[in-house]
Amino acid sequence: MHRAASLALLIFLSAAPVLASEGDTPLARAPSDMTGAEIDLYNQGRASTDDDYIRCRRLEQVGSLVKKLRVCNTNADWKRIADRGNQEARDSMEWIQRGFSSSQEPKDQIMPSTGRPQ
């Protein structure tokens, strides 16, 4: 279940256009739409640790044992995707800890007694 949610998030975020910061050359197309040769040409002369270096990953598609989805992003975009996912996970855990824990229910959610002896 968690893996499917992560895949859906990556697919959604990879469809977003790449934002170029000042001094960067904007990409003509989204990295996932580029061919391998175009990516190689774009990466030429860049270090693999450079923020503008494009990396591609093959993600398993839900419902298929063989089919993979090719998702390409710059290192900076992959870092933003990971940071956003981590922040959302932290926010969810904080919400769970503040709200409905198994040790205490909110007072407005407590069921009225049914009249049975306790």
Q: Find out whether 41 and 53 touch, Cβ atoms under 8 Å.
A: no
d(CA 89, CA 14): 19
Kindly write down the DSSP assignment for every residue of 44-88, as one continuous string: TT--TTSTT-EEEEEEEPTT-SS-EEEEEEEHHHHHHHHHHHHHH
**Can you give the pLDDT of all 118 residues of the chain as single tens digits?**
455 545 444 454 444 444 434 345 567 789 989 999 999 999 999 999 999 999 999 999 888 889 999 999 999 999 999 999 999 999 999 888 887 655 555 566 666 656 655 5
Contact 54, 39 (CB under 8 A): yes
Could you tell me the pTM of the whole model?
Answer: 0.58
Question: What DSSP character marks residue 110?
Answer: P
